[in-house]
Amino acid sequence: MNPEVSKPILVIKFGTASITLASGEPDTGKISEIARQVSEIHSAYRIIIVSSGAVGAGKAYIQNYKGTMTQRKAAASVGNPLLVGLYASYFAPNQIFIAQSLCERQHFANRDKFLQLKETFEELWENNIIPIVNENDVVSDRELKFSDNDELATLLAVGFGAQSLMFCTSVGGLLDEEGKIIRDVANVNEVFKFVKTDKSFLGLGGMASKLTFAKLAARMAITVVIFGMNKKDELLEALKGMAGTLITPGKSTLSARNRWLGSGGLVSGRLQIDEGASKALLKRKSLLVVGVVEVSGDFESGEIIEIYSPSGEMIAVARARETSAAIRDNLKTMNFEVAHANDIVLL
């Protein structure tokens, strides 16, 4: 057996504000520390680094920069190689090489493409290379508008079956009303009240984004840590549960295929179902259209959808057997199957 395969997978996501100076340029001191601390644990894990900061690294090269979507994409295309070059230069003294991986959501929506991505990463790990991942901002505006790579890191962690998922932030963890770091979280729903709506000076994500994806990861038995890089060896301490906010994982016995499906892949729509359908899903039954109360979004047969209970809680994701249009047209049709039991993952 390849010794690399037996090592646990660790996904570490660094937000824009955590590795960027106020000017927008990469903080070389922070990147140097990331390289030093990650190098210490490199032999024990198969590591994926998800790094934001490309826009900040490249925006100085765009004339009359005003932050339009086109300018942000252009800045990212300049900033990505600059950022990866910095990571490479600071990892090099430890004889660790890195690789750039620009991902798009379609890589997760299609099972075959996802497996190809996984095989590529496994080849990198076998050669002791750490992939540095970012969303392909040049052709995709989703990360630039929404999740600031929190979603991408979670998709990788859940789909690959990671042991741990770490989110680095500028504040060092989830803060309570007194501004102190909450050390342990058993139920993510109970701590959303502490989330402030303001965002960092450069990043577009925030603590609400991290908690949303942390909740999904924890449901998939992944340990989640929200930490900072403001103190000596903080990454190493956080990995041991001695710094930052630790979110306790649940238990999961899902197969690799269902972990991929449960990650949400490319979520194209959502269904709200009634109480009867909710109970049927818990008994591992297929979802029939008679249990559907509301259809949101436009999706095709085979795409990923979210399923919500009558109370509005997301209880499952599924691969749709029918299009959204067909479901809307057949809401009163008996024995019309929306999603087969084998393609439904309860959360």
Is there a contact between 329 and 322 (Cβ–Cβ < 8 Å)?
no
Together in a domain, 191 and 228: yes
Together in a domain, 243 and 275: no
Together in a domain, 123 and 81: yes
Together in a domain, 39 and 188: yes
Together in a domain, 239 and 291: no
Q: Is the pTM of this model over 0.75?
A: no
Last residue of a domain, one of 247, 282, 316: 247
Together in a domain, 326 and 207: no
Q: At 74, list the tokens.
A: 């252009």
Together in a domain, 19 and 73: yes
The answer for residues whose C-beta is within 8 angstroms of residue 333's C-beta and 6 or more apart is: 289, 290
Q: Bridge partners of 79? A: none
Together in a domain, 292 and 195: no
Q: How far is the C-alpha of 131 from the C-alpha of 38, rounded, in Å? A: 12
216: in domain:
yes
Q: How far is the C-alpha of 199 from the C-alpha of 207, rounded, in Å? A: 9
Tally the residues of the chain.
347
Domain count, the chain: 2
254: in domain:
no
258: in domain:
no
CATH at 321? 2.30.130.10
Together in a domain, 77 and 157: yes
Last residue of a domain, one of 247, 279, 298: 247
241: in domain:
yes
261: in domain:
no
Task: Supply the pLDDT for residue 160.
Answer: 85
Together in a domain, 31 and 180: yes
> Which residues constitute the domain of residue 327?
266-346
Q: Can you tell me which residue has the tokens 């930490």? A: 227
252: in domain:
no
Is there a contact between 304 and 146 (Cβ–Cβ < 8 Å)?
no
Q: Sign of the CA dihedral 171, 173, 177, 180?
A: negative
Is there a contact between 51 and 67 (Cβ–Cβ < 8 Å)?
no
Q: At 75, list the tokens.
A: 């800045």
Together in a domain, 62 and 193: yes
Together in a domain, 152 and 8: yes
* First-to-last C-alpha distance (Å) of the chain: 32
CATH at 162? 3.40.1160.10
Read out DSSP for 201-229?
SS-S--HHHHHHHHHHHHHTT-EEEEE-S
259: in domain:
no
pLDDT in tens, the chain (347 residues): 455 667 999 999 998 888 888 777 888 999 999 999 999 999 999 999 999 888 888 888 999 998 888 888 898 888 888 999 999 999 999 999 999 988 776 666 666 777 888 899 999 999 999 999 987 655 554 443 334 578 788 888 888 888 899 999 888 888 888 888 888 887 776 776 776 644 433 333 467 667 777 777 777 788 899 899 988 999 999 999 899 888 887 665 565 556 556 555 556 688 999 999 999 988 889 999 999 999 988 877 767 788 888 888 878 877 788 888 999 999 888 899 998 887 787 76
User: Phi, psi (5° rounding) for residue 242?
Assistant: -110, 5
260: in domain:
no
Q: Bridge partners of 295? A: 271
Q: At 30, list the tokens.
A: 């922070």
